[in-house]
């Protein structure tokens, strides 16, 4: 009887939930699309999520043209697509970050990117928790259990570690999103650590987005100034942990 209940309550026994969730996001994107003003056939070909810098430029030109009279639709469109990319770990969010800097004022763009990144990551976290956690635990029970125990010793520092991981490119963001629920990282520090941690690198890409037409490659956003900014941000994120350890040792 117990095994039967576990099977019924286990989301992995209901695989139809995954395409249903995806369809909900697709419906939201379609709703924005049908509410967008009439565009030419050529412009319509550029209304797609950007896979490279040239796509971002073409999309930016179209959205910029209609933004003044359709600000809410353009803003909602960027938000919905951004969250969808993050939620399903689809590449391309970096170009939406640059595009946000091109379309919106800096304070709007940075708030949009941080909020969408954290929200999309939280959805990805939830999907991993629902559909992937039990599978991973069943395949690697001892190893995962050991990692969970090791991490539990640092529960008060999860927020700082999450900020550090988001600021630095040590671990891919999609892997952090998927692995965090498996390793029992609570959702609250995960969300706020993502919100705060993506701000420094997003700052660089949003600034670059203000000169989107002149950009030739995303690597132009990297300079000694940007490296110093990210290094300082990473050090500051770990400063409370280092200070706590020093006080304990004294």
**pLDDT recorded at residue 8:** 39
Helices of type H across 88-172: 93-103, 106-131, 133-139, 141-152, 158-167
Q: Determine the angle formed by the axes of helices 17-35 and 106-131, rounding to 10 degrees.
A: 160
**pLDDT recorded at residue 184:** 92
Domain extent for 144:
2-249
Helices of type H across 10-105: 17-35, 41-44, 53-67, 71-87, 93-103
Overall domain count for the chain:
1
Other beta carbons less than 10 A from residue 87's beta carbon: 22
Give the residue ranges of the chain where pLDDT is below 70.
1-16, 216-222, 250
Instruction: Name the token pair of 122.
Output: 């939280």
Which residue is listed with tokens 């539990």? 152
**pLDDT recorded at residue 219:** 61
d(CA 100, CA 63): 11
Other beta carbons less than 10 A from residue 186's beta carbon: 12
């Amino acid at each position: 009887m117990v095994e039967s209940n576990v099977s019924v309550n286990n989301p992995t026994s209901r695989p139809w939930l995954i395409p249903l969730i995806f369809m909900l996001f697709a419906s939201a994107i379609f709703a924005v699309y049908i509410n967008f003003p009439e565009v030419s056939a050529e412009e319509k070909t550029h209304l797609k999520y950007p896979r490279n810098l040239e796509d971002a430029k073409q999309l930016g030109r179209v959205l910029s043209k209609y933004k003044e009279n359709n600000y809410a639709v353009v803003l909602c469109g960027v938000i919905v697509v951004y969250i969808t990319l993050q939620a399903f770990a689809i590449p391309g969010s970096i170009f939406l970050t640059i595009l946000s800097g091109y379309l919106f004022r800096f304070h709007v763009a940075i708030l949009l990117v941080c909020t969408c990144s954290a929200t999309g990551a939280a959805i990805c976290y939830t999907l991993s928790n629902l559909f992937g956690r039990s599978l991973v635990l069943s395949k690697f029970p001892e190893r995962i259990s050991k990692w969970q125990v090791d991490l539990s010793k640092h529960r008060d520092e999860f927020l700082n570690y999450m900020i550090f991981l988001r600021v630095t490119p040590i671990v891919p963001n999609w892997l952090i999103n998927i692995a965090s629920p498996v390793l029992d990282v609570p959702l609250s520090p995960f969300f706020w650590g993502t919100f705060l941690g993506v701000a420094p690198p997003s700052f660089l890409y949003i600034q670059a987005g203000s000169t989107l037409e002149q950009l030739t490659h995303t690597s132009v956003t990297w300079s000694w100034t940007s490296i110093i900014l990210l290094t300082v941000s990473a050090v500051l994120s770990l400063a409370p942990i280092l200070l706590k350890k020093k006080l304990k040792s004294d």
